[in-house]
Amino acid sequence: MLLLVLVSIVFLDQITKYAAVKYLKGNNPYIIIKDFFQLHYVENFGAAFGILQNKKAFFIIVSFVVIIAILVLIFKGNYNFNSLMELSLIIFLGGAIGNLIDRIRLGYVIDFISFKFGKGYNFPVFNIADVSIVISTLLIMTMVLMDRYEM
């Protein structure tokens, strides 16, 4: 089951990025809800919010370390994680792998989901892998803070 979740996240991430390249790259943003939600192709050479631009090797190394750490935690750790913690770690892993594929293959991460809040604030553009990482991080933090991650 967990392997299916992992493969599904990576596949969904990569197929949506493929569609972003095919349909959005070189075009104006595709507006879904005016002044709120659009699909907009962006090549992100940094991390979240555009920090650490052009640090490809750094991000690849960090991604590998995180991926290995998660695999060790799940399969070799002395923890008796509950099913929600295992699922959260797998979702995080799927997001990390999705963005790592881009960094190795392209040298940047493809982002395309864009939210605006009126005419004032543009939230940073993101992708499915980013969503997976953020949601799983919130779940993991909540379980750790509430001490609810073990069976």
pLDDT for res 49? 61
Q: Which of 13, 35, 102, 130 is catalytic?
A: 130
Task: Answer for the pair 95, 130: CB distance below 8 angstroms, yes or no.
Answer: yes
C-alpha–C-alpha distance, residues 68 and 110, integer Å = 23
Task: Answer for the pair 96, 133: CB distance below 8 angstroms, yes or no.
Answer: yes
Tally of domains within the chain: 1
The question of whether 102 is a catalytic residue gets the answer no
Position 23 in a domain: yes
Position 75 in a domain: yes
Position 49 in a domain: yes
β-partners of residue 150 are 81
Structural domain harbouring 58: 2-145
Under 8 Å CB-to-CB from 74, ≥6 apart: which residues? 81, 86, 89, 90
pLDDT for res 50? 62
Q: Which of 13, 35, 102, 111 is catalytic?
A: 111
pLDDT for res 119? 74
Closest alpha carbon to 42 in 61, 63, 27, 59:
27
List, for the chain, all residue ranges whose pLDDT scores fall below the cut of 50. Answer: none
pLDDT for res 89? 97
Residue 43's SS3 state is strand
Position 95 in a domain: yes
Position 150 in a domain: no
The question of whether 130 is a catalytic residue gets the answer yes
C-alpha–C-alpha distance, residues 110 and 17, integer Å = 6
Whether the pTM exceeds 0.85: the reply is yes
